Structure 1
Amino acid sequence: MKLTVVGGGSTYTPELIDGFARLRDTLPVEELVLVDPAAERLELVGGLARRIFAKQGHPGRITTTQDLDTGVDGADAVLLQLRVGGQAARQQDETWPLECGCVGQETTGAGGLAKALRTVPVVLDIAERVRRTNPDAWIIDFTNPVGIVTRALLQAGHKAVGLCNVAIGFQRKFARLLGVSPADVHLDHVGLNHLTWERGVRLGGPEGEDVLSKLLSEHGEAIAADLRLPRPVLERLGVVPSYYLRYFYAHDEVVRELGTKPSRAAEVAAMETELLRMYGDPALDEKPELLAKRGGAYYSEAAVDLAAGLLGGGGSPYQVVNTLNRGTLPFLPDDAVIEVQAAVGPKGTTPLPVPAVDPLFAGLMANVTAYEDLALTAALHGGRERVFKALLAHPLVGQYAYAEGLTDRLIAHNREHLAWA
């Protein structure tokens, strides 16, 4: 089995490598290729990756290359983890929206749109080259904004599934609180990427006992604190929202906070500098503790599970993925990309049936789906007017004066990445 990681020079990559090494019985990787145009980063990450495999006794071979076509040739699955423009672009995504009184964040709102506009054309070019080289390869997308990027891939006819670590993070957290194995926790997870709610926490599988009310009763304070939302909000909603819902439920509060502290991008950039220094130490042969602060918790376990399922080697029978709606949520178009529990196998993903969704959540999902449709159109075809309409449709913007100002700033800060600008 051959896997290729595009964006393999990311400081995230050792987390993925550690998962491949630990879970080799689930996903027996024989060859792992790290592809990245940044030669220096790739050398540092590749060296640590080989040392991690060696320490854990993994027999697989790890190679690195700057050449995409060479790297994806013969791959069974290609994992995408890109950041077009790097941390410098992320820093901009998190700052210029604040000038208009809107949330500055890299995956939602105006910053998320900027990231989509930079990213979709690059990902589609990579996917086309994968298809020419190896049309049977699965594409597993971690690249944000995952919902829009995955929709672009599926719309272009690629064998693609999107993946996020929010659900597996909740699964692991709830398992610890309940004192059970993560495999015993099944989430009634519904929504769009970075716009999801846990409507049930079942023990043993999709038909198991729902213990969500018990969790909220006994551990509501801890869960609310992690989400940075008041406990009464969770009790009134009767669900556990993802932490990204705070941008919607407490927008103005978040904007005030973001204006008074360094950006997350600045924090991550400093971490990356230190991580790369550590990766260059030839004595380091495991992922450092600092990597846990970088983000992406349990990302490797989710990746192994999904790749194993798609490639026929095992994995959990049900997994939370980003996939086509196909009538699962009747209030959304069939070609919308939703994030739900799905059966995973070599033929792809099939969403499990979802009970009727409360209008409080369905309305926001429909609004953001409409935005994502406009965002994808802007990413594919360009043009100031398309960018403006996408921003106007986003519930974190929604006013024409804000949309005008944000459109000008988005284009000004991303001109080098926009072929049409």
Structure 2
Amino acid sequence: MKKGVKIATIGGGSSYTPELVEGFIKRYDELPVRELWLVDIPQGEEKLKIVGTLAKRMVEKAGVPMEIHLTLDRREALKDADFVTTQFRVGLLDARAKDERIPLKYGVIGQETNGPGGLFKGLRTIPVILDICKDMEELCPDAWLVNFTNPAGMVTEAVLRYSNIEKVVGLCNVPVGMKMGIANMLEAAPARLHIDFAGLNHMVFGLNIYLDGKNITETVLDKLTSKEKSGVTMKNIVDLGWEPEFVKGLKVLPCPYHRYYYQTSKMLEEEREAAKTVGTRAEVVKQVEKDLFELYKDPNLAIKPPQLEKRGGAYYSDAACNLISSIYNDKRDIQPVNTRNNGAIMSIPYDSAVEVNCVITKEGPKPISVGDLPVAVTGLVQQIKSFERVAAEAAVTGDYNTALVAMTINPLVPSDTTAKQILDEMLEAHKEYLPQFFTSVETK
């Protein structure tokens, strides 16, 4: 690799960008980022300018020779990049609010990455990521694509299946958050902990938990189900606690998103209540973002503000910087990422994307084999993988029937009739961002 690294960040106007910049500054000695290109679309130009100006102040304060470039020209940013990170939201938070509100009308969970909302975020996102992949093939064929645009597992699946980009890694902050939560619960330094992560994005389990090399899985599950608050949750998911007997019977550590599947009625009730009072998560985040960007405008601010953690994506960007540094430096450390299964989880197809611990090398992630998942969780994981596969196909083909099957086989949707009603209303609501479903009909 040439001296000095060029990184292009698609969705550079995101409120998460200061954390990314902080991560690159912190690691500058081992990862010399000479050029960081922040790219956005015209609707995001104002945010890009605010966050880009803060990034420049951060770099100046830190005294590192990193050039920050702001652009609306994706191709200019991608040219000769070494790494491309993606953190964009097609349709912005308004689209997310529709994903959350429409399913609720039908008595179905409305959530950004699960159920109908997850399907529609995938349908909007996948054509865009595949377009970015085409540009990368032409302009930076040797670059690594590090995606943390949700639904990260489905997006990684689509890139592996429908593009020629092999150098792709999907990233999520959930495993990092789980590890940090358990470290806090045990009052132990995170470095002393090791968790065997395996499953899918937002459907990942901690199979074994080790402290200083000793298996403490049972102790952690006991603590997790005690009456004290567990601390293992995400900002955007209410902490409802688990039935102690259920988690002990499961024998593995669930992730916060499993609540949608194992506590569906509670979560639905919670969402309905929130929608009536404080608003859906998207509406809450809109206000959080507004406040953050007001902070970012302050010419005296030259660090990542602590308020960013309220956004719900703590550790995201730090995990990305860590991953990029490990690839660049061939560190061969272990990190949980989304990558091609290659037999790591026996009950998932070889060529599918999974979220699993990997050894991170300069050739990319090497998945660590876990064999079969426990029988208690295998069925749900396989069902979600079927959903991701069919959804990715629908996103690429724009085929209505395929989209209906994807919606119906999702465990959060109760029947094909409900699935069809939600699908029809959401297709109409998101029409502007789903040309693949409409152009073929209109041109006949």
What TM-score, normalized by structure 1, do the two folds share? 0.95
- The C-alpha deviation readout for 1:203-223, integer Å capped at 9, x for no partner, is 35xxx3211222233454332
Given that residues 32 and 61 in structure 1 are in contact (C-alpha distance below 8 angstroms), is that contact kept between their aligned partners in structure 2? yes
Q: Does 1:223 align with 2:230?
A: yes
The answer on whether the counterparts of 1:2 and 1:74 sit within 8 Å (CA) in structure 2 is: yes
Q: Which residue of 2 aligns with 1:145?
A: 151
Q: CA deviation at 1:182?
A: 2.1
CA contact (8 A) 1:310 1:344 kept: yes
Q: Which residue of 2 aligns with 1:167?
A: 175
Q: Give 1:266's match in structure 2, choosing from 274, 283, 300.
A: 283
Question: Is the contact made by 1:228 and 1:243 (CA closer than 8 Å) also made in structure 2?
Answer: no
Name the SS of the counterpart of 1:309 in structure 2: helix
Distance, in Å, in 2 between the alignment partners of 1:162 and 1:64 is 24
Give the one of 167, 183, 189 matched to 1:181.
Answer: 189
* Change beyond 3 A, Cα 1:313–1:357: closer
Mapped to 2, the partners of 1:378 and 1:249 lie a distance apart of 27
Q: Cα offset for 1:355?
A: 4.0
Mapping for residues 2-401 of structure 1, pairs under 5 Å: 2-37=6-41, 38-155=44-161, 156-158=163-165, 159-204=167-212, 208-218=213-223, 220-221=225-226, 222-223=229-230, 226=233, 227-232=239-244, 233-261=246-274, 262-312=279-329, 314=331, 317-401=333-417
Secondary structure, counterpart of 1:407 in structure 2:
helix
- Percent identity over paired residues: 38
| Amino acid in the other structure paired with 1:239 | V
- CA deviations 1:26-69 (Å, max 9, x no partner) are 42212111111222111100011111122223221111111001
**Aligned partners of 1:201 and 1:210 also within 8 Å:** yes
Structure 2 contact 177–232 (Cα < 8 Å) conserved: no
Per-residue Cα deviation, 1:117-141 (whole angstroms, up to 9, x for no partner): 0000011101110120010000000
CA distance in structure 1 between the aligned counterparts of 2:13 and 2:81, rounded to whole angstroms: 18
Change (3 A) 1:184 1:355: farther
User: Contact 1:224 / 1:234 at 8 angstroms: preserved in 2?
Assistant: no
2:223 and 2:119 mapped to 1: Cα distance? 38
Q: Distance in 1 between matches of 2:367 and 2:88?
A: 26
Rate the CA distance shift 1:26–1:181 in 2: closer, same or farther, 3 A. Answer: farther
In 2, Cα distance between equivalents of 1:167 and 1:408: 34
Alpha-carbon distance change, 166 to 280 in structure 1, aligned in 2, over 3 angstroms:
same
Instruction: Output one character per residue of 1:349-385: Cα deviation in whole Å (capped at 9) or x when no partner.
Output: 1110104322221100111111111101100001221
Structure 2 residue runs of 5 or longer lacking an equivalent are 234-238, 439-444
1:80/1:142 contact within 8 Å kept: yes
**Paired amino acid for 2:170:** G
1:26 and 1:173 map into 2 onto residues whose CA distance is 28
AA partner of residue 247 (structure 2): L
**Whole-angstrom distance in 2 between the partners of 1:189 and 1:337:** 14
Q: Distance in 2 between matches of 1:336 and 1:313?
A: 24
Aligned residues: 417
Q: Which residue of 1 aligns with 2:441?
A: none
**Cα separation, partners in 2 of 1:225 and 1:332, compared to 1, 3 Å:** closer
The 3 A distance-change label for structure 1 pair 45 and 230 is same
Would you say the 8 A contact 2:347–2:373 is kept in 1?
Answer: no
Contact kept in structure 2, 1:224 and 1:231, CA below 8 Å: no
Give the secondary-structure state (helix, strand or coil) at the position aligned to 2:230: helix
Structure 1, gaps ≥5 residues long? none
Give, in angstroms, the shift of residue 162 of structure 1: 0.3
Instruction: Give yes or no for contact 2:157–2:389 (8 Å, CA) kept in 1.
Output: no
User: Which residue type is aligned with residue 312 of structure 2?
Assistant: G
Whichever residue aligns with residue 262 of structure 2, its letter is: Y
Retained in 2: the 8 A contact 1:76–1:311?
Answer: no
Which range is displaced more, 400-409 or 233-242? 233-242
Relative to structure 2, which stretch is displaced further, 47-56 or 374-383? 47-56
CA contact (8 A) 1:72 1:134 kept: yes
Q: Is the 8 A contact 1:26 1:304 kept in 2?
A: no
Q: Which amino acid aligns with 1:202?
A: Y
Q: 2:306 aligns to what SS in structure 1?
A: coil
Normalised to the residue count of structure 2, the TM-score between the two structures is 0.90
* 3-state SS, counterpart of residue 273 of structure 2: coil
